[in-house]
Amino acid sequence: MLPFKPYSCLILKMKNPILAALSQKSLSVGIVASTVFFGTTSHALASILIAGAPSTASWLNDVQAKIAGTGLISGSVDVLNVVSSTPTLAQLQAYDAVLFFSDASFADPTTFGNVLADYVDAGGGVVQATFSFWIAGIVIGGRWRAQNYDVWQPGGQISPGNLTLGTIYDPSNPILAGVTSFNGGSSSFYNTVGSLNPTVGPLNPGAVAVADWSNGAPLIAVNTSTFAGKIAGLNFYPPSSDARSDFWVSSTDGALLMANSLNFVTKQVSVPEPNSLLGLFAIGTLGAASTLKRKLKSSQSTEKKPTKVG
């Protein structure tokens, strides 16, 4: 995008430099206020972190490319291999949302789980994906697991193959925006969430089902009410068939599900009410105009004739 030059279309040919400067100041205030009011943007740029523990490191690059390729993340899309590194809270807070998943053991599952919980408590948004819903082995630990930040009860894993998007419980949920198809591939990996405690059910307190797999297993759920930040659960493994042929089919909407989920949990920056913005515009413009008027009166005694504008 070319840089915005607020005065490029309005050139005031004034002999008095004070008047010209004040005119530009008045114009600048009006343009800045009206630019905010009419909405070039309604929230801060969303930058996200993909914190994955894949069994093959290069699969992180596939997830990164797929999410960035949707064009739906307005800021940076970064990756961190949490097989060998554990982020601090300060590192996570440089991002508006985090996607994490596993297929190998986290470097420090307890510390990572505590940091993720702290991040959500501070208003950060998290998307959790397969296989981090495991009950043992490649699990997330710490407060995340102990205090039910997972949207589902943990379980084992299964790969029945060739599953697709099934029952949709909340078609208006933004995670499903633009999604027309999803195929889990010839493996269709997911965690059998809740299977070890069927009397409780798969959902943790506060979580709500959004959609299932075609075989009735949970696929998408969210929790927007229990914690300060939002959490979304995606019960599929994030790398696509471009990384390995049996993963979710890259010609379907897995990337869109991930990008939409990250935007859904992102904490947006609120914009002042229109009345406040109109007040800002009025006060700024009137203040500059008043100053201009006083300067104009004081300069009339030294001006031989009015300055032409044209």
Angle in degrees, CA 180, 185, 191, rounded to 5: 95
Domains in the chain, CATH or no CATH each:
1-35+275-310 (no CATH), 48-265 (3.40.50.880)
Report the SS3 class of residue 198: coil
Listed residue (230, 224, 221) closest to 169, CA to CA: 221
Q: Is the pLDDT of residue 278 over 90?
A: no
Per-residue model confidence as pLDDT tens digits over 176-227 = 999 999 999 999 999 999 877 666 679 999 999 999 999 999 999 999 999 9
> How far, rounded to the nearest angstrom, does the alpha carbon of residue 186 sit from its chain's CA centroid?
30
pLDDT tens string 123-133: 999 999 999 99
| Confidence (pTM) | 0.74
